[in-house]
């Protein structure tokens, strides 16, 4: 990948959050990427709400919204998520559905990049899962080796103890 593509992927990755255990993007970030106003994006979504079931898009609850605002500062700061209303958040499928609602050439190109970014994240997670499983196997082997070494040292200690403190034995032979 070229440097420009990497920068685009990183910019998109920085706008992907985990909320309710799902990777999502906020309406404001998507509108910014598409080059439109957030209210325009929301208007298009509301006009086509049947395309966005709960597993594609949801609105933050009041508690989630308050937590979100606290994380990014005050509501009046223009650059710190100055949100007054709870934003819509879109799952990967919801972002994909946005491409059918927003038909501009830019929206199509942005959606392609977002889908590639989600795929990249999935691949990275899969790679990390494989590594984690390999580490677990290595840890199990090390634990087994530790136990075996411990048993070996215990036997050596017992042998040394017997050598230092030999038991009195009856003499065999003629007296």
The residue range of the domain holding 53 is 3-130
Residue 103 lies in a domain: yes
Residue 40 lies in a domain: yes
**C-alpha angle 28/46/99, rounded to 5°?**
65
Tens of each residue's pLDDT in the chain, 175 residues:
567 767 777 878 888 888 888 888 899 988 888 888 999 899 999 999 999 999 999 998 888 887 777 766 544 444 445 567 788 999 888 888 887 788 777 777 777 888 888 888 878 877 777 777 887 888 888 877 778 888 888 888 888 887 777 677 777 777 6
Residue 136 lies in a domain: no
Residue 155 lies in a domain: no
Residue 148 lies in a domain: no
Residue 156 lies in a domain: no
Strand ranges of the sheet holding 16-19, from the earlier edge strand across to the other edge:
16-19, 22-26, 88-91, 57-59
Residue 158 lies in a domain: no
Query: Quick one: the chain helix, strand, coil %, rounded to 5?
Result: 65, 10, 25
- Claim: this prediction has a pTM higher than 0.85: no
Domains of the chain: total: 1
């Amino acid at each position: 990948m070229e440097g420009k593509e990497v920068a685009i992927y990183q910019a998109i990755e920085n706008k992907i959050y985990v909320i309710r255990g799902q990777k999502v993007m906020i309406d404001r970030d998507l509108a910014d990427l598409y080059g439109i106003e957030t209210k325009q994006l929301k208007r298009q979504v509301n006009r086509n709400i049947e395309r966005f079931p709960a597993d594609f898009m949801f609105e933050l609850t009041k508690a989630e919204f308050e937590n979100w605002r606290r994380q990014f500062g005050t509501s009046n700061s223009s650059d710190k998520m100055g949100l007054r209303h709870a934003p819509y958040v879109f799952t990967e499928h919801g972002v994909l559905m946005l491409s059918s609602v927003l038909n501009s050439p830019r929206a199509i190109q942005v959606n392609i990049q977002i889908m590639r970014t989600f795929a990249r994240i999935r691949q990275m997670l899969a790679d990390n899962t494989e590594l984690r499983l390999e580490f677990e196997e290595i840890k199990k082997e090390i634990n087994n080796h530790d136990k075996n070494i411990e048993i070996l040292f215990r036997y050596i200690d017992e042998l040394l103890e017997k050598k230092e403190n030999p038991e009195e034995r009856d003499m065999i032979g003629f007296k």
